[in-house]
Amino acid sequence: MKRAGFDTLSLPVLLLLPQLVIIAVFFYWPTIVALQSSFYLQDPFGFGSTFVGLQNYADLFSSREYRKIAWFTVTFSILVTFFSLAIALVLAVKADKVLRGAKTYRTLLMWVYAVAPPVAGFIAVIMFNQSWGPLTEFFGLFGHTYMVGVNFNDTAFAMILASVWKQVPVNFIFFLSGLQSIPRSVREAAMIDNRSATSRFWDVTFPLLAPTGFFLLIINITYSLFDTFGIVDTVVKGEPGNNPMTLVYKVYVDGFRGNDLGGSSAQSVILMVLVLALTIFQFRLIERRIHYT
């Protein structure tokens, strides 16, 4: 194929400039600043800073609290990702079979997607309200006094529930369109080859959904790590105390509540490395392997 080109360098640079400026100002500059300040110890009252090398990182890795939060974040992400994907897949498979009313069903489910994370968190808080929340009453039936913000596990459960609920619609839409892009004749051929609908699902439908599934896996891990900030914030109500929190929330708590900008920056850098690793994983392994045609 013949490619169109520019004779001079100035025009393409000029055309790209707005984009480059935006990327530089909003992505690279903050990254550099974060990287830089992660090597310094800031004075809590803003009177200058001292270079401490890797001390901030060393402090983090030796901190029991940080390790505990990291561990919680991993558990939280695995649970949120797994349940968001699993529930969405079940719903999509069911919806795929429905012919009448499929559109209404899809639209209704999609509405949840439009709910902002803090609102989702707020809804969870209401559902788990100490005195009249319906879910609190539900757990009360089993003799469990549900206490969001007091009991660690109760709070964690509320966070997970809200995060899953918020993410299911997106996954559902992707899974449904993934299912619908499987050629009808392939499924029909499978019907002739295999009597059992369950084993047909695992042998044919599920592998053909794998590209969609892996894409969603990355999206969901990223979501549970970062985009759940609003939910965590609402459920915790800004009172970290003994409550569960994720690494991203910890960055905020240490940086803006604790005024430990250096430590907070070091945490951001660690998260950035994590995202980088995820991205590389996605591009390298997945994009290459899991495509059929």
From the CB of 97, what's the least distance to another protein, in Å? 15
* Residue with smaller CB distance to another protein, 178 or 240: 178
> For the packed helices 229-236 and 152-180, what is the interaxial angle rounded to 10 degrees?
150
Binding residue for another protein (CB under 8 A) from 55, 194, 259, 282?
Answer: 194
Residues in the chain, how many?
293
Buried (b) or exposed (e) across 77-88, using 16+ Cβ within 10 A? bebbbebbbebb
Cβ(228)–Cβ(80) below 8 Å: yes
141 binds another protein (CB under 8 A): no
* Residue with smaller CB distance to another protein, 8 or 198: 198
DSSP state of 114: G
Spatial distance between the Cα atoms of 150 and 236, rounded to a whole number of angstroms: 9
* Residue with smaller CB distance to another protein, 207 or 241: 207
Structure tokens at 6: 């520019």
From the CB of 208, what's the least distance to another protein, in Å? 6
Q: What part of residues 195-254 is at the interface with another protein (CB under 8 A)?
A: 195-196, 199, 203-204, 207-208, 210
189 binds another protein (CB under 8 A): yes
Stretch that binds another protein, among 32-40, 43-51, 192-200, 212-220 (CB under 8 A): 192-200
Binding residue for another protein (CB under 8 A) from 78, 108, 191, 275?
Answer: 191
DSSP bridge pairs for 50? 41
Q: In the structure, how many helices (H) and strands (E) does the chain have?
A: 15, 2
Cβ(235)–Cβ(121) below 8 Å: yes
190 binds another protein (CB under 8 A): yes
Q: Residue 207: what residue type? A: P
What is the pattern of x (binds another protein, CB under 8 A) and - over residues 147-186? ------------------------------------x-xx
Residues near another protein, by CB under 8 A? 183, 185-186, 188-196, 199, 203-204, 207-208, 210, 292-293
